[in-house]
Amino acid sequence: MTEVTIGRPPAPPTGRARLRARLETMGQDRASAALLAAGALVALVWVNTPARAAYATFWSTPIGVRVGSFELMLTLHGVVNDALMAFFFFVVGLEVKREVAIGELSQRERAIVPASAAVGGLVLPALIFLVIAGRSGDAHAWGAVISTDTAFLIGALALVGPRHSARLRLFLLTMAVVDDIGALAAIAVFYTTDLHLVPLALTALALALVALVRFLPTGRGPVYAVLAVLVWLGLHESGVHPTLTGVAVALLIPVFAPRRREVEAAYAQTRAFRQSPTPRYAVAAQRRLRDSISVNERLQLSFAPAVSYAVLPLFALANAGVRLDAASWAAAWRSSLFWGVLAGLVGGKLVGITGATALVARSRFGRLAPGLTLDRVAGGAALSGIGFTISLLIIDIAVPDERAATQARLGVLVATAVSVLLGWAMFAAMVRFAPRTPVGKVLLRPFDPARDHFRGHPDAPLVIVEYGDFECPFCSRATGSVDEVLERLGDEVVWVWRHLPQTRVHPHAVESARAAEAAARQGEFLDYGSTLFTQQDRLEREDLLEVAERLGLDLDRFVEDFDGAEVARRVQEDADDADLMDLLATPAFFVNGWRLVGPYDSESLVEALRLSAGSVPPAFRP
């Protein structure tokens, strides 16, 4: 389902823009995972050919920088693992900061289940590893089994997951954020030795300056870059793994939802440029637009593609070079380290995530989102055994012996393959043994008077649920049918409205839905929605504000809610429900929980209600 946005409809995209948009939606997850897998495959082939000596020679190539008496020497392998991976952790840190500040982790009731699942997926794999390999000399490598590779996980979900996986994807992404927090904390606490206090103190000073950069009126980007380099150098010299520079800097970069003042200023400046397209207005409009979005989100948008398409494949190429000869397999087969990694990632993640989810979801502390069942979570938990990136990084830190490191890397590679196959098998079994009710024939989420917008008596025995779009002309006409039904059946029926913005054909659908939700927060959803249906040719932002003013709403509060994350999330939840039910057009009606396919005039709705009241589902057309 298309992500919801606020603002004027964009100009028709160019061919390049359409290609980029396609890669950024359906293809991004798969492309990122495919490139990561390709890097690992190239490394495996390289090391298992006669050219294998060149692999070690290439990655041990020294690279150094000398400034006066200061000298920094790294191998090419060190550049990838210590420097480039800092960008990976930077993107992870930006995501963590955003989710904690304004995202899914900002509300306890939304975060408790995936957060608990992540804790289960952190603790149980480590315990399983220690039970199997705790008495070996490499027990310190327990951190290799605690982290899930987010890029591989989401890519694998796109390849082998269920058809409608929006809610499962969100659950796994939220879980992965908490998982990343745990993995980063483990690296900082358990895999840092030989601390040097003076460089660490200078690092702390640099981080304090990073926190103050937000107050600069301009030029913040270059200052962030210089200070990040100083933080990296300080951590490198202090003995702390320098990749943590990324998350340390990212957590100090501000994030906020779009605020009314900045959005209105950007809009006004853009209008001025439209009326008088001068270079001065162009620069001012660009600055205003940039400042209306937080630095966190701008940087995440800028760095994420480079990390997914370049840094992670390079990391796989530099670290997945494992000998697959008979001797290596024989040594791994006898190694408790290999079996500890394999069992921790595959079994520990599956049981830990699924068990924690079941425990919390069945208690009063949390609940799964509509359409997200425990069997789907179990399939995602199976895929979570893919621990590629951070697992290989911790092995590189924690296992100095190359033979033991090879056994641990084999465990990670085998666990990745087994997890993908296990996840695929579980999702395939769900399809094979699922109930035969066709997708979209039964309402996914029952009517909830505490949440839904409705007309009629909330305890009425007959319920009509409509998924609609305020810019849809057919939805506007359907309101007449609904009015007649409510008039004829009175308190025996209740009508429920849910959002399904048709963004491909209605450029103002999302803004209209958000505006109606903002009006609902002042008790005027029905009147506001009815007004929108009467002026479907006037749904620009200023038109939506004018309707709010005509209805006597508090405009400051209306705009704040209109631009807020809560309203956007509410609209997106309805759209996600529709996506899970494979609803492709509006209006879509459900009568007492059953999909009505066919005419939706008042007589058809009444007849469907009468049939459903007699425990007979409404007639469906194939």
CATH of the domain at 592: 3.40.30.10
For residues 277 and 251, membership in a common domain is answered with: no
Mean pLDDT on 306-325: 88
For residues 249 and 389, membership in a common domain is answered with: yes
More confident residue, 283 or 316: 316
Please check the confidence at residue 70 and state whether its pLDDT lies above 80: no
Contact (CB, 8 A) for 564 and 570: no
Which pLDDT tens digit goes with each residue over 574-617? Answer: 988 888 787 878 999 999 988 888 888 888 888 888 887 764 44
For residues 308 and 424, membership in a common domain is answered with: yes
DSSP at 442: B
Q: What CATH code is carried by the domain that includes residue 20?
A: 1.20.1530.10
Question: What is the pLDDT at residue 614?
Answer: 62
Which pLDDT tens digit goes with each residue over 505-538? Answer: 888 999 999 999 999 999 999 999 999 999 999 9
- Is the whole model's pTM more than 0.85, yes or no? no
- For the ranges 45-49, 370-374, 453-457, 570-574, the lowest mean pLDDT is seen at 370-374
Tokens of 142: 């327990």
For residues 497 and 554, membership in a common domain is answered with: yes
Please check the confidence at residue 622 and state whether its pLDDT lies above 60: no
For residues 510 and 478, membership in a common domain is answered with: yes
pLDDT above 70: percentage of residues in the chain: 91
Burial of 357 (0-12, 13-18, 19+ CB in 10 A): buried
Question: What's the mean per-residue pLDDT of the chain?
Answer: 85
CA distance readout (Å), 425 to 34, 379, 422, 430: 20, 9, 5, 9
Cα separation of the two ends of the chain: 25
Question: What is the pLDDT at residue 19?
Answer: 41
More confident residue, 110 or 610: 610
Mean pLDDT on 491-517: 92
Q: How far apart are CA 314 and CA 292, in angstroms?
A: 34
203 part of a folded domain: no
Question: What is the pLDDT at residue 229?
Answer: 93
582 part of a folded domain: yes
Full domain range(s) for residue 32: 15-192+241-258+293-433
Question: What is the pLDDT at residue 436?
Answer: 55
274 part of a folded domain: yes
206 part of a folded domain: no
Q: Work out how many domains the chain is built from and give that number.
A: 3
Please check the confidence at residue 621 and state whether its pLDDT lies above 70: no
Please check the confidence at residue 269 and state whether its pLDDT lies above 70: yes
More confident residue, 9 or 376: 376
37 part of a folded domain: yes
Question: What is the pLDDT at residue 14?
Answer: 44
For residues 409 and 464, membership in a common domain is answered with: no
For residues 494 and 390, membership in a common domain is answered with: no
For residues 503 and 524, membership in a common domain is answered with: yes
Mean pLDDT on 263-290: 80
232 part of a folded domain: no
For residues 421 and 551, membership in a common domain is answered with: no
494 part of a folded domain: yes
Q: Cα Rg for the chain, rounded, in angstroms?
A: 27
For residues 607 and 534, membership in a common domain is answered with: yes
For residues 599 and 564, membership in a common domain is answered with: yes
Which pLDDT tens digit goes with each residue over 193-248? Answer: 777 889 889 999 999 999 999 888 878 888 999 999 999 999 888 888 888 888 88
Query: Is the Cα dihedral 311, 313, 315, 317 positive or negative?
Result: negative
Tokens of 41: 């495959």
For residues 597 and 533, membership in a common domain is answered with: yes
51 part of a folded domain: yes
